[in-house]
A and B are shown apart, each in its own frame.
Chain A
Amino acid sequence: MKRQMLNENSPELQSVIDELKAMDYPSRVDVTDRVMEAVSGQPESIFGTHSKVRWIAAAAACAAFALLVNVGHLLANPYNSNQVNTMLSEVYNPDSYNGDGMIMDESDEYFL
């Protein structure tokens, strides 16, 4: 419907569109010298040194962010859940404790 209406131009509208199509800037522009003057003072700052500095700064910022995320993760989760479960089972479940690696010295006699 919309496409159909787009193609239905009244003669007046068509003349406006034709006129618009033919409407060009009445004189030749020549801004080359002005543009070149404006840009020639700063080539290095755009494509050279400053560009490299920007890249290095961006990389450093990314690295710092990654480090922060890692530190935050470690602080929030010092051990993973498997490690914690193993530790708890060893402490609280006497059946799972077989005494391997236990070294007794004289002071341990009090507890026998």
Chain B
Amino acid sequence: MQNSDEEIIQEVLAGHVDRYAEIVDRYQQIAANLCYRLVGDRLDVEEVTQRVFVELYLALPRFRFESKLSTYIYRITVNTVAKMLKHDQRIVREDEDRPTEVPTNDTNPEHTVIRDETRRQVRRCITRLKHEQRVALVLYTYKDCSYQEIADIMKVSLSKVETLIFRARKNIQKMLTNHEKTDAE
């Protein structure tokens, strides 16, 4: 039977550091996916993920299990990304619009082109949002986080989350309209 997060963390805190690997195995892909949605290729996702789990390890003695471990990991990921974007500008890549190769079973070239274009458009819209709006929207669409969870992760009020998501959607809508106009011209 699989041990619960709390049991593993208690053991880690008691000195069995090797058990921490189980926590990393369990959540690293989730953290990486969230990071990827937040910044795309602008940061080295593996580098961010590694930092997230080192930060989490350092923060374990303060974790009281008042929220889910996954929520705590989201919060650390959001903070780590913000910190790295602020301080580690040197690793920010310039080719934001570079299409990502995503494995797919669809062999229809037309579908592939359309999907790549949509993906590029999504990334363009997301990267142009203000950081707070981007974080709120990504969390909203990620694992269907509730507004309350987003507020807890971002450490802001519930009404602020509503406003951020509302503005993010409105701005994306505006960008899409402008994009269509540009295409038509």
Contacts and interface: CB of A to CB of B under 8 A. Distances in A.
A46 B37 contact: no
Interface in A11-53: 12-13, 15-17, 19-21, 23-26, 28-32, 34-36, 38-40, 43, 46-48, 51
Contacts of B25: 32
A6 interface: yes
Interface residues on A, range: 20 to 34
A39 B23 CA distance: 13
Nearest to B125: A16
Interface in B112-126: 118-119, 121-122, 125-126
B118 A19 contact: yes
Given A6-B166, A16-B176, A31 B36 contact: no
Interface of A: 2-3, 5-6, 9-10, 12-13, 15-17, 19-21, 23-26, 28-32, 34-36, 38-40, 43, 46-48, 51
Interface of B: 13, 15, 17-18, 20-21, 24-25, 28-29, 32-33, 35-37, 45-46, 49-50, 53-54, 57-58, 61, 100-103, 118-119, 121-122, 125-126, 137-138, 141-142, 162-163, 165-166, 169-170, 172-173, 176, 180
20 contacts: A2-B166, A12-B176, A13-B169, A13-B172, A16-B122, A16-B172, A20-B138, A24-B36, A24-B37, A25-B45, A28-B29, A29-B28, A31-B53, A32-B21, A36-B18, A39-B17, A39-B54, A40-B17, A47-B15, A48-B15
